[in-house]
Amino acid sequence: MADSSPSANLLLLLLISSLYWLFTPGSAFLIDRDHNTSSAPLEPHFTECISREQETFRCWWSPGSYHNLSSPGALRVFYLKKDSPTSEWKECPEYIHSNRECFFDVNHTSVWIPYCMQLRGENVTYFNEDDCFTVENIVRPDPPVSLSWTLLNISPSGLSYDVMVNWEPPPSADVDAGWMRIEYEIQYRERNTTNWEALEMQPHTQQTIYGLHIGKDYEVHIRCRMVAFTKFGEFSDSIFIEVTEIPTKESTIPFTLVLVLGIVGILILIMLIVITQQHRLMMVLLPPVPAPKIKGIDSELLKKGKLDELNFILTGGGMGGLPTYAPDFYQDEPWVEFIEVDGEDGDSGEREDNRASDTQRLLGLPHPVSHHMNMGCSNAISFPDDDSGRASCYNPDLPEQDTLMLMATLLPGQPEEEEASFDVEERAPASSERSLVQAQTGGPQTWVNTDFYAQVSNVMPSGGVVLSPGQQLRIQESTSATEEETQKGKEDEDSKETEEQKQKELQFQLLVVDPEGSGYTTESNVRQISTPPSSGEGYQTIHPQPVETKPAATMEDNQSPYILPDSPQSQFFSPVADYTVVQELDSHHSLLLNPPPNQSPPPCLPQHPLKAPMPVGYITPDLLGNLSP
């Protein structure tokens, strides 16, 4: 016993300590639970006091855990209105036991005065300091009513839209009297989402919601509170906003329709104008394409395949040249502008004496007739200010002295009749233009060929060009004329020299043709001889000396660069046509000419066999292809 007693004591001690140790926390735990469960029961308390319009208010209570006090009448509500230091607790003026609610009507409601609420049981008073309030701080306004929405606009992309939401303030809140000032908060969300989007609070009864998406369903509700207070009222009932896709074709259909109708209308108008042949409108809508229209020549001749007739006319078949009374082929087209190829000479008008004298001297005629090419644009029928054809015509408004002088000094051509064509004269107010192209009629008409273009009748192997023998005829005649002059009394050396010079010059009216050069030989030649030297660009000669020679200067130097024809007088008596056909180009790019068909080709003319029958005189562009170097 004595041996086991200390172990037994130890065991007991252990047991007790363990038990104690077990129990104390456990008991504490249990006790805590018991405390938790059986801690002070929830006292009857007020759950909430709310005023809806700041004129009345209600308070709700609950008995808490005291279920025996839940029967009506078991608990009584008392309130204290601290409007004076001697205020007392009073009982609730109106009970609504079904709700456990105490209602304070208008007579019992005072704003800005603290209220304290109290629940009293049998002998117990349940009072909490937290249940004191002032009425304005417990106001929660009713939700607004009559919530509605209208569509404001749809974005141009057709994906989103804006909506204006309208509502009325809650009827219970006396906003009209100014008793309550309310601000509103709108919240919206998509139909099946959980998060509401809240817009900014504002005191007006409408608000715009921006950026809603088409095709989605939205839910909107609203609540309000007093301005500068914190308690919100309840949310209103939700309204639903949905905008489905609007067919956008409606906006584009009228646009395309308008476009199509407009185009059709314009086309119809144009057709009408064309059909009714309103010439003025046609000029505006369909301006004429300038085509070569020569006065007195039917445009039919200018077409393909009719060159023979054309050449016949141009080369003066029968009458030589174009009569001035050529039938007017274009009288019904007022906008036609003519290239006047006029063979007649007109009145001389005023001309510079130098040239007259030069030409006279050149040709030995008292009244040299100058062929003038009526390059002016003459409108046969009055059509004012038509500029469409001007580019192709010589513009008389720009008197270029050089070209004028050039025209004036062209070798006299072929005057068939003594008629004058005054077309240019009529239209040219300037005297210089008159002096341009007029030639005096009168005098022996000794001209046979129109010499407006020089006729190159031979090309030398070295490249020189022999002009037409038609010049020779005139030379002969001019020589006779000069002889007459000399006989008349001009026995000066100058005259003789001039005569000789003229002869030579006439004979040697040759230019060494620059292989690359172009231009009319006679013109340049004449310019060199008779006119004071002007800028000789375009005319290229091997030797520039003759440019500087004065007309009166003698050229006794036979070593002129001019190339003599071998036998100028013997060879070319036969009449030569005005134009020579350029047969082909040789290796040196010089022109190989074809003599006119009414002549026997001179034997020394280097000539290649004809490759194709070429029309005489006039080359049309479609025949140009037949030329080959």
Partner 1 sequence: MPGNIRSVCAVWAMLVCLVFCGKLTTVDAAPLCTNAQAGCHVLSLANLFDRVIQHSARMHGISNDLHSEFELYFLPSKNQIGRVSRNCHTSSILTPNGKENAQRMAREELTEVILKLLVAWRDPLWHFHQSMAHHHDFNNFSSNKSLEMSDMVHELRKGVQKVVEKMQMLGIISNSVSNLASPEALLASDSAEWRLMKDYDLLYCFRRDSNKVQNYLKILKCRIVPEHGC
Which residues are near partner 1 by CB under 8 A? 54-55, 82-83, 85, 106, 109-114, 116, 129-130, 132-134, 136, 174, 176-179, 181, 227-229
Q: CB of residue 89 vs partner 1: minimum separation in angstroms?
A: 13
Residue 614 host element (H or E): none
229/312 with CB nearer partner 1? 229
SS percent in the chain: helix, strand, coil, step 5: 30, 20, 50
Cβ within 8 Å of residue 514, ≥6 positions away:
540, 541, 542
Q: Which is nearer to partner 1, 56 or 236 (CB)?
A: 56
Nearest to partner 1 of 173, 576 (CB atom):
173
- Minimum Å gap between C-beta 146 and partner 1 is 19
Shortest reach from residue 175's CB to partner 1, in Å? 8
Least Å from the CB of residue 171 to partner 1: 15
In whole angstroms, the minimum distance from the beta carbon of 110 to partner 1 comes to 4
Distance CA 174, CA 51 (A): 13
Instruction: Closer to partner 1 by CB, 113 or 199: give it.
Output: 113
* Nearer of residues 203 and 533 to partner 1, judged by Cβ: 203
Which is closer to partner 1, CB of 135 or CB of 410? Answer: 135
Residue type, 205: T
Amino acid present at 508: F
Instruction: Give min distance, CB of 357 to partner 1, in A.
Output: 58
For 334, which DSSP code?
A: T
Would you say 167 or 562 has its CB closer to partner 1?
A: 167
Q: b/e for 381-411, b at 16 or more Cβ within 10 A? A: eebeebeebeeebbebeeeeeeebbbbbbbb
CB of 116 to partner 1, least distance (A): 6
Task: Find the shortest distance in angstroms from Cβ 129 to partner 1.
Answer: 6
Task: Label residue 64 left, alpha or beta by phi (over 0 means left) and psi (-120 to 50 means alpha).
Answer: left
DSSP single-letter state for residue 188:
E
Task: Give yes or no for a contact between 380 and 426, defined as CB atoms under 8 angstroms apart.
Answer: no
Nearest alpha carbon to residue 386 among 336, 323, 427, 325:
336
Q: What backbone phi and psi angles, to 5 degrees, belong to 116?
A: -125, 140
Give, rounded to a whole angstrom, the gap between the first and last alpha carbons of the chain.
Answer: 157
When the beta carbons of 177 and 612 are compared against partner 1, the nearer one is 177
Rounded Cα–Cα distance for residues 49 and 51 (Å):
7
3-class DSSP assignment, residue 115: strand
